[in-house]
Structure 1
């Protein structure tokens, strides 16, 4: 099933608590000798948590998927919840602050009485400046809007007091040519533009740099990093990706 409902999201950066609309995708397997599942039980479970106040903490999500499996009478269940996450971004000179956003996703797999896999995903937007354009041009260089997607498998000992959303956001923003801001005055634009010029990035650079940061994060077991640039002077997009599993490499 695939349904939207409102939820509460907790963050370690402002706004610390926010309500947003989340899309839940809930699935379960059924035995070969059973004709179908009882769809109303999915929505009953979701409505129960909505009425209680559904906060997207890992503890609540673990309870939710466990109870869903029991309600369905199945040994397994899968949960995917996607939502926009808002965070404040401050301009470098004027210090004017506005809301920026990223697309977040949490995936839980439950089997035989326990959560066996927890994955998270964040897609955020940055600015990248083309190294080739800077190298061959006498002045200026073209830049573009880049979309960084990080898909991460969490370790079993992940401590939720550490906000995975902020960790992934920092990995993307700190390696970009420049950060995208909701509010910029003229002096802010000068600073951001010059910073981008001094930090050119190909999509290949972006995924490697972000991957290097994620490799150092203790609660990251494996990851895939993707970068897609909406090129400003080319008809095509530019794309790169890299994957790594700490347990096998």
Structure 2
């Protein structure tokens, strides 16, 4: 039988002074996977497989942030936060960030980020075939120890859609007019034909992303954010399409051509429409990335602004 080691108090090496006394903005762990159960009124809860990034700041007087036991602390904090029903993922992140400050007495700031895949049910536009789509949802919270500073929360989503290029479509329209005139088609019939049948153009798979900063008790519906992103592109995309559905999707997309810039501007307008009660100082980030089909590069557009700034630009009255 091996000899039993004498009991002694183990040193807390992390509490020592570092050789280079510099403050660190973030120290923590990333890619912590957890099951999150999101409650819904009168519906079954949604189960999310989520990844968390969890950080605290570190003062220059401390060598480390107790990372050797941090996983245990984080698991305990997450389990405590998940023991009661969760309705908003940004509120969960806030609860975790607040508890982290309680456990890391040397920290003045705690930050929690959460990313999940969210299952959305879809019905194809013509045959009404049911399918499922996965979109990325995310939330973030930053808790400060200073009583003068409030907790900052953010929630958002990234969704894939389709865009049709207006520029190439305009070129193809002029070419069609030239060819139809060469066939002696009357001008009035050319006009009617072009009204009813959109011209071909190249398409892009677009990725729209919206994140909204929320304060106090402000609530932002993730489903509304997802719909705003989808409706800001030329067309939605579907996992399952029959031939009739495919014809509808292609036709509607070409009837609604959009540049990458158009998508971001549409998102901005729709955010103001759908969330009229957001405070003027709430910050919104709007991003569209189009993966070009006839170029090797992607097209990108972004707007970061407060809700008040967008209201002023669009002369929008707060709800």
Structure 2: gaps of 5 or more residues: 1-28, 177-198, 313-319
1:11 CA displacement: 7.7
Distance in 1 (CA, whole Å) between partners of 2:301 and 2:51 is 27
Where does residue 241 of structure 2 map in the other structure? 184
Query: 8 Å contact 1:97–1:182 — kept in the other structure?
Result: no
* Higher deviation after alignment, 214-223 or 185-194: 214-223
Q: CA deviation at 1:173?
A: 1.2
- Residues 247 and 209 (structure 1 numbering): CA distance in 2 closer, same or farther, change over 3 Å? closer
Within the alignment, does 1:194 sit opposite 2:240 as a pair?
no
Change (3 A) 1:3 1:211: same
SS in 2 for 1:29: strand
Note closer, same or farther for the CA distance 1:41–1:61 as it changes in structure 2 (3 Å cut). farther
Give the drift of 1:32.
1.7
Answer with 1-10 or 94-103: which moved more.
1-10
What CA distance in whole angstroms lies between the structure 2 residues aligned with 1:150 and 1:16? 26
Partner of 2:151: 116
Counterpart secondary structure, 1:179: coil
2:211 aligns with one of 128, 151, 163: 151
Report the alpha carbon displacement of residue 31 of structure 1 after superposing the two structures with TM: 2.0
SS at match of 2:70: helix
Maintained 8 Å contact 1:178/1:192: yes
Higher helix proportion:
2
Match of residue 243 from structure 1: 304
Q: TM-score, normalised by structure 2?
A: 0.70
Give 1:110 shift: 0.4
- For the pair 1:219 / 2:278, whether they are aligned, the reply is yes
The RMSD of aligned alpha carbons is: 2.5
- 2:120 equivalent in structure 1: 87
Partner of 1:228: 289
Cα displacement (A) at 1:156: 2.5
Q: Report how far residue 57 of structure 1 moved.
A: 3.6
TM-fit CA distance, 1:134: 1.1
- Dislocated runs of 4+, deviation >4 Å: 49-53
Question: What residue in structure 2 maps to residue 130 of structure 1?
Answer: 165
Q: CA deviation at 1:41?
A: 4.5
Deviation for aligned residue 1:47: 1.9
Give, in whole Å, the separation in 2 of the partners of 1:189 and 1:11.
35
What residue ranges of structure 1 are gaps of 5+ in the alignment?
none
Shift of residue 157 of structure 1? 2.8
SS at match of 2:216: coil
Choose the corresponding residue for 1:32, options 60, 64, 81: 60
Moved more, 202-211 or 169-178: 169-178
Alignment of 1:50-129 (within 5 A): 54=82, 55=86, 57-73=89-105, 74-112=107-145, 116-129=151-164
Give the whole-Å Cα distance in 1 for the aligned partners of 2:229 and 2:286.
10
Q: Alpha-carbon deviations, 1:160-213, whole Å to 9, x = none?
A: xx52x1121111112211101111111111111110011000001000110111
Q: Relative contact order, CA 8 A, sep 6+: which one is greater?
A: 1
